[in-house]
Amino acid sequence: MTQSSASQMDGSALALLTARMEGIARKMANTLHRTGRSGILTIARDFSCVVLTAKHELLATAESLPIHVLRGPDIMAKTMADNHPVLKRGDAFLHNSPYHGCTHPADHSILIPVIDDQGVHRFTVLAKAHQADCGNALPTTYMGAAKDVYAEGALIFPAVKIQDKYEHVMDIIRMCQLRIRVPEQWWGDYLATLGAARVGERELLALGAEIGWDKLEAYTQQWFDYSERRMIDVIRAMPKGRVTRKSTHDAFPATPSDGVTITATVEVKPDEAMIEVDMTDNPDSMENGLNLSEACALSAPMLAIFNSIDHTVPKNEGSFRRIKIHLRDGSIAGRPRHPTSCSAATTNIADRVANPVQAALAELADGLGLAETGALLPPSCGVVSGVHHGKPFVNEVYLGCTGGAGAPMADGWLTILHAGNAGMCYQDSIEVDELRHPIFVHQRRLIPNSEGAGRFRGALGAYSEFAPVDCDMTVAYISDGNVNPALGTRGGLAGGNSAQYRMHPDGSLEPLAACAEVVIAADERMVSISAGGGGYGAPHEREAYRVAHDVREGWVSRDRAEAVYGVVLRDNLTVDTEKTTELRRDG
């Protein structure tokens, strides 16, 4: 829809309505954050809230996780409309099907159509919340070894009506309560997610009454057109080129013995103002939980692109018109066929898709792209569960994971967690976790010399050591990066590897498998080492004062500063400029 010049809004009106729409998405997020029950929502903030048009176009996202929302909500909203041709005010739908647009089964989502007083569908609001438990066969939301969706065990809801006339469909509620561990916790999270979506519905109805639906429709199209123009300007300023890059996921159950190599070919076409990513040259779906959903297969390369360009370009249907992602049906990095398991679709392989895309962009020109981000999911981001004093508990914890990639003008983001959530999730408060669960955190710290060295270094890895209190505790995790670290780009070096151990009462460490559910006894501890991020640019190009700062902070040793970065420090840890210049010249 193209607006005539007479009906075009001026820039201030466009900005004000955009702020109103983003404000609605933030109100939804605030509701979910403050009313959720499980720690994964109220502490770690692993959720997203968005507004879509009635045509299923992404409009407003606020601080959502990119892997949750860049693509997927559009497919989910279309599934809702296709499955329920007559949408009414008071409807709400539960959706977690990875075959119909959801990211993975653990991301329970509530969709609500916004219906005006004449019964016309105007917008859709979506609140997506990662669950502490989704009814899988094992107490984890990441079934890395699941042969198929049946082995996963979660209930799958392809936009199933869960409210009619604002009343719960109790048959669906009872199914969830019987299948999901700690059902009262799930019930609280469900109500929080539903409440967030209802807040969005209420606010949009009020905005439509205030502004007028026709004006809001005109606004959405103008905002999309503006966003597309911004994206066109950015792409036309980029160098033309085609780069193929690979990233390898460690060997897991049902993968080849040397792991899963993901290939991404990125082509920038400035003349056409298009970026294309070809993901078709990748292995077939595998009999494990690593396969991507369509939503993640589309979002992962897109988030790598947006992470690599001007951050002020709006992320919506308008800018998306300038990105084309090529997928293959039945591929581990493409569109899955039922009953393929997509249990871990948001993390492991998704990051191995994002990493080569952002690194390929870096190869096109200095100043673009990123190095590789550290891999997930170590035990410090695992799902912990058990029974304490007769009461069951389950939650995913974020007790120490870093991984940020070196960038063209900045060091790796220390708390990004992984490429897909772009730092939108929070690291857990140790004290709050200890209050909520029978867990004691003995250590959480950064690991010296684990950064990917570079002109701008990657984030250091993190060491976490935690234990159950007065009970046994199962820790479920799927830790990539034990073998294949986050690689650098443009001469940058790889980040440190991940690892995991059981610490016995005598302090000895027992190496553990990378994909496992491990029972930690009350007198034992879980030790988790998260991966560091890759470096951007050659280490000898790093400004000497930055290296000296890292040494003083205890992040880089004095020996490493000299051997890797070519920076010589005096005993007071200031830069010896003359010796540094000589060392770098000779090196």
Distances (CA, A) of 487 to 238, 247, 355, 375, 453: 23, 8, 9, 11, 10
Give dist(CA 275, CA 266) in Å, integer.
7
Whether 330 maps to a domain, the answer reads no
Instruction: Decide the pairing of beta strands 107-115 and 92-95.
Output: antiparallel
Give dist(CA 559, CA 571) in Å, integer.
12
Whether 498 maps to a domain, the answer reads yes
Of 440, 426, 322, 305, nearest to 360 by C-alpha is 305
Q: What is the dihedral of CA 59, 64, 68, 73, to 10 degrees?
A: -20
- 345, amino acid identity: A
Give dist(CA 569, CA 587) in Å, integer.
16
Specify whether 77 is located in the same domain as 206.
yes
Q: What is the dihedral of CA 463, 468, 469, 471, to 10 degrees?
A: -170
Whether 263 maps to a domain, the answer reads no
Specify whether 96 is located in the same domain as 144.
yes
Specify whether 563 is located in the same domain as 482.
no
CATH code of the domain covering residue 131: 3.30.450
Whether 492 maps to a domain, the answer reads yes
What's the order of all strands across the beta sheet hosting 439-446?
A: 439-446, 462-468, 525-529, 499-503, 509-511
> What is the longest distance spanned by two Cα atoms in the chain?
78
* Contact between residue 444 and residue 463 where contact means Cβ atoms under 8 Å apart: yes
What's the order of all strands across the beta sheet hosting 383-388?
A: 391-396, 383-388, 473-478, 515-520
Specify whether 466 is located in the same domain as 575.
no
Whether 446 maps to a domain, the answer reads yes
Specify whether 508 is located in the same domain as 496.
yes
What's the distance, CA 283 to chain centroid? 22
Specify whether 495 is located in the same domain as 551.
no
Give dist(CA 386, CA 43) in Å, integer.
20
pLDDT in tens, the chain (587 residues): 344 444 689 999 999 999 999 999 999 999 999 999 999 999 999 999 999 999 999 999 999 999 999 999 999 999 999 999 999 999 999 999 999 999 999 999 999 999 999 999 999 999 999 999 999 999 999 999 999 999 999 999 999 999 999 999 999 999 999 999 999 999 999 999 999 999 999 999 999 999 999 999 999 999 999 999 999 999 999 999 999 999 999 999 999 999 999 999 999 999 999 999 999 999 999 999 999 999 999 999 999 999 999 999 999 999 999 999 999 999 999 999 999 999 999 999 999 999 999 999 999 999 999 999 999 999 999 999 999 999 999 999 999 999 999 999 999 999 999 999 988 999 999 999 999 999 999 999 999 999 999 999 999 999 999 999 999 999 999 999 999 999 999 999 999 999 999 999 999 999 999 999 999 999 999 999 999 999 999 999 999 999 999 999 999 999 999 999 999 999 999 999 999 999 999 87
Specify whether 20 is located in the same domain as 90.
yes
Domain-ending residue, one of 211, 227, 243: 227
Domain of 408 in residue numbering reads as 370-541
Specify whether 536 is located in the same domain as 549.
no
Domain-ending residue, one of 227, 259, 279: 227
Whether 262 maps to a domain, the answer reads no
Specify whether 138 is located in the same domain as 33.
yes
Q: Decide: residue 116, CB within 10 A, 0-12 exposed, 13-18 middle, 19+ buried.
A: middle
Domain-ending residue, one of 227, 255, 272: 227
Q: What is the 3-state secondary structure (H, E, C) of 463-503?
A: EEEEEECCCCEEEEEECCCCCCCCCCECCCCCCCCCEEEEE
How many structural domains comprise the chain? 3
Specify whether 61 is located in the same domain as 137.
yes
Whether 478 maps to a domain, the answer reads yes
What pLDDT does 337 receive? 97
Specify whether 469 is located in the same domain as 564.
no
Whether 261 maps to a domain, the answer reads no
Specify whether 400 is located in the same domain as 523.
yes
* Contact between residue 182 and residue 396 where contact means Cβ atoms under 8 Å apart: no
